[in-house]
């Protein structure tokens, strides 16, 4: 009977408006969420609350700044040629050791997601770089796209930057501190598993065309590895770790400024590149994700204003234990079809509140992992669609088919971490 309460009606109205806008009228996700927020306010009798709409739009301003500056940093590293040079070195170094090559390729795919907190960034940077090499190494096209999609999602969830965890923590005023090891526990076993089932069997057979592979590697090695190329990464590591190691002495610059300073150091790398062009490309690539965050912020603000958010929290708290875990494993990825970030905010926060008896950091990490699967859910399926485009596959459902087993294992592992959260926390040094 709960869904016949006014808040239940408002919830249905907002979700239905979003579904019609996004799926029937093919509106951008951010626009559809904004319209759904306005409809929710009108239906509830709140009128047109302009102040709340504006506040919601800027609700995730910190996260938006992190994404945009992190993308500028990744473009800097890409423009200097460091990404291609590292990828070529890893493939040459481990091409005769299939197991290590499989793991090395997965790490390469994950790195941009780890830095930017965006699966799209990982797919469009290192994913696009390694795709032709993987195909020449004998990996089928659709499996190449599948490993890129899964690696991008695990990179998005792995530390140091995990935006769904930031959003979940922000919902209950939990600082983003101490998430490093829990996020590694959530992602590293899954990354290894996905690499072993998707690419390792094909690496064992060897490259189909050694000549074509060698030509591709030489193309990637147009910029030779040197210490100066690593300067942006060194600067970023120093800036990010200095504040934690020497909190009393080190100035608290914040992640956006850390990324910008590290990007500027790329001008000393010894390679000519256009910083304005790189920044423009980075912001253009990040705009869809930043737009979604603005729409999510507006959506959540109105949900809170009209009582829908509290309704969702109470409904989650009222679920029996077995149904709660089933709901986490299914509803969070499905709602992630709207946005993994939206899933983290709308569902992640109430689920975390429903599990307050368990270690909050580990539970929040696992919930962010499960929410990340939303980037595989059609019709948006950001990771799957972009990965298919990178390899030239028109039907992205063929890619999602090969992501199914890793996806199910990912959801199961997330639930396992939640169930054992207190035990795992007792084993960790924090």
Measured on CA atoms in the order 208, 210, 215, 220, is the torsion positive or negative?
A: positive
> For residue 241, is it within any domain?
no
Of 311 and 46, more confident: 46
Share of residues in the chain with pLDDT > 90 (%): 45
> For residue 245, is it within any domain?
no
Task: Look over the chain and give the mean of its residue pLDDT values, rounded to a whole number.
Answer: 88
> For residue 176, is it within any domain?
yes
Return the structure tokens found at 64. Answer: 């938006």
Total count of domains within the chain: 1
C-alpha distances (whole Å) from 104 to each of 4, 196, 419 are 53, 11, 31
| Confidence band for 1, pLDDT divided at 50, 70 and 90 | very low
| Confidence band for 100, pLDDT divided at 50, 70 and 90 | very high
The region of weakest confidence among 158-167, 308-317, 383-392, 410-419 is 308-317
Buried b (16+ CB within 10 A) or exposed e, 173-198: ebebebbbbbbebbbbebbbbbbebb
Spatial distance between the Cα atoms of 344 and 165, rounded to a whole number of angstroms: 7
CB atoms within 10 A of CB 65: 17
Q: Where are the alpha helices (DSSP H) in 45-94?
A: 50-57, 61-79, 82-94
Spatial distance between the Cα atoms of 141 and 391, rounded to a whole number of angstroms: 6
> For residue 244, is it within any domain?
no
- pLDDT of amino acid 4: 52
Q: Cα–chain-centroid distance for residue 376?
A: 11
| Confidence band for 378, pLDDT divided at 50, 70 and 90 | confident
The region of weakest confidence among 17-26, 185-194, 355-364, 413-422 is 17-26
- pLDDT of amino acid 336: 78
The region of weakest confidence among 159-173, 288-302, 305-319, 342-356 is 305-319
pLDDT at 3 > cutoff 50: no
Q: What is the mean pLDDT of residues 371-382?
A: 85
30 touches 339 (CB < 8 A): no
Return the structure tokens found at 56. Answer: 């919601």
Of 225 and 167, more confident: 167
Spatial distance between the Cα atoms of 365 and 166, rounded to a whole number of angstroms: 10
> For residue 98, is it within any domain?
yes
Spatial distance between the Cα atoms of 398 and 377, rounded to a whole number of angstroms: 13
- pLDDT of amino acid 193: 97
* Domain containing residue 173: 5-223+271-427
Spatial distance between the Cα atoms of 371 and 363, rounded to a whole number of angstroms: 12
Spatial distance between the Cα atoms of 383 and 378, rounded to a whole number of angstroms: 10
pLDDT at 5 > cutoff 90: no
- Residues 104-155: pLDDT tens digits? 999 999 999 998 888 988 998 889 889 998 998 889 999 999 999 999 999 9
Q: Cα–chain-centroid distance for residue 311?
A: 27
> For residue 218, is it within any domain?
yes
Buried b (16+ CB within 10 A) or exposed e, 68-106: bbbbbbbbbbbbbbbbbbbbbbbbeebbeebeebbbbbb
Spatial distance between the Cα atoms of 106 and 396, rounded to a whole number of angstroms: 20
| Confidence band for 275, pLDDT divided at 50, 70 and 90 | very high
- pLDDT of amino acid 387: 92
Residues whose CB is less than 8 angstroms from the CB of residue 162 and which lie 6 or more positions away in sequence, other chains included: 117, 156, 179, 183, 365, 368
- CA dihedral 309→314→318→324, nearest 10 degrees, is 30
- pLDDT of amino acid 196: 95
Measured on CA atoms in the order 422, 107, 288, 26, is the torsion positive or negative?
A: negative
- pLDDT of amino acid 430: 61
> For residue 350, is it within any domain?
yes
- pLDDT of amino acid 157: 96
- Unique residue bearing structure tokens 């600082």: 175
Q: Among 212-216, 248-252, 260-264, 379-383, which range has the highest average pLDDT?
A: 260-264
pLDDT at 364 > cutoff 90: yes
- Residues 13-28: pLDDT tens digits? 998 998 898 778 888 8
Q: Which of 421, 190, 189 is nearest to 328 (CA)?
A: 421
Q: What is the mean pLDDT of residues 292-310?
A: 86
> For residue 259, is it within any domain?
no
Q: Where are the alpha helices (DSSP H) in 254-379?
A: 255-264, 275-306, 308-317, 321-335, 340-343, 349-354, 360-372
- Residues 206-226: pLDDT tens digits? 766 678 888 888 888 777 777
Q: Which of 229, 237, 233 is nearest to 272 (CA)?
A: 229
């Amino acid at each position: 009977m709960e869904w016949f309460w006014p808040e239940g009606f408002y919830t249905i109205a907002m979700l239905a408006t979003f579904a019609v806008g996004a799926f029937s009228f093919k509106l951008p996700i951010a626009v559809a969420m904004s319209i759904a927020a306005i409809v929710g306010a009108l239906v509830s009798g709140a009128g047109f609350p302009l102040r709340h709409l504006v506040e919601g739009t800027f609700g995730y301003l910190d996260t938006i700044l992190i994404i945009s500056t992190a993308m500028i940093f990744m473009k800097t590293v890409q423009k200097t040629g460091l990404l291609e040079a590292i990828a070529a070195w890893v493939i040459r170094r481990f091409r005769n050791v299939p197991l290590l090559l499989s793991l090395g390729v997965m790490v390469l795919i994950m790195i941009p997601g780890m830095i930017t907190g965006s699966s799209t960034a990982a797919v469009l940077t290192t994913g696009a770089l390694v795709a032709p090499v993987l195909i020449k190494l004998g990996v089928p096209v659709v499996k190449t796209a599948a490993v890129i999609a899964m690696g991008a999602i695990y990179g998005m969830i792995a530390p140091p930057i995990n935006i769904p965890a930031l959003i979940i923590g922000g919902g209950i005023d939990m600082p983003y501190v101490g998430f490093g090891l829990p996020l590694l526990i959530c992602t590293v076993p899954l990354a290894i598993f996905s690499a072993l089932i998707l690419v390792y069997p094909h690496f064992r057979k060897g490259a189909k065309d050694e000549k074509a592979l060698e030509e591709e590697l030489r193309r990637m090695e147009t910029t030779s590895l040197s210490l100066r190329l690593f300067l942006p990464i060194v600067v970023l590591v120093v800036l990010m770790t200095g504040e934690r190691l020497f909190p009393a002495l080190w100035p608290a610059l914040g992640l956006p400024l850390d990324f910008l300073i590290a990007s500027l150091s790329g001008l000393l790398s010894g390679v000519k590149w256009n910083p304005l062009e790189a920044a423009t490309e980075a912001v253009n690539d990040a705009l869809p994700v930043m737009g979604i965050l603005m729409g999510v912020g507006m959506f959540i603000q109105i949900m809170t204003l009209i009582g829908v958010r509290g309704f969702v929290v109470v409904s989650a708290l009222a679920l029996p234990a077995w149904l709660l875990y089933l709901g986490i494993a299914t509803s969070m990825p499905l709602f992630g079809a709207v946005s993994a970030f939206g899933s983290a905010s709308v569902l992640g926060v109430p689920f975390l509140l429903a599990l307050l008896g368990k270690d909050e950091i580990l539970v929040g990490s696992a919930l962010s992992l499960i929410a990340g699967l939303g980037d595989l859910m059609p019709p948006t399926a950001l990771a799957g669609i972009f990965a298919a485009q990178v390899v030239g596959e028109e039907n992205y459902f063929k890619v999602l088919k090969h992501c199914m087993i890793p996806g199910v294992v990912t959801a199961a592992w997330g639930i396992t971490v939640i169930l054992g959260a207190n035990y795992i926390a007792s084993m960790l040094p924090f």
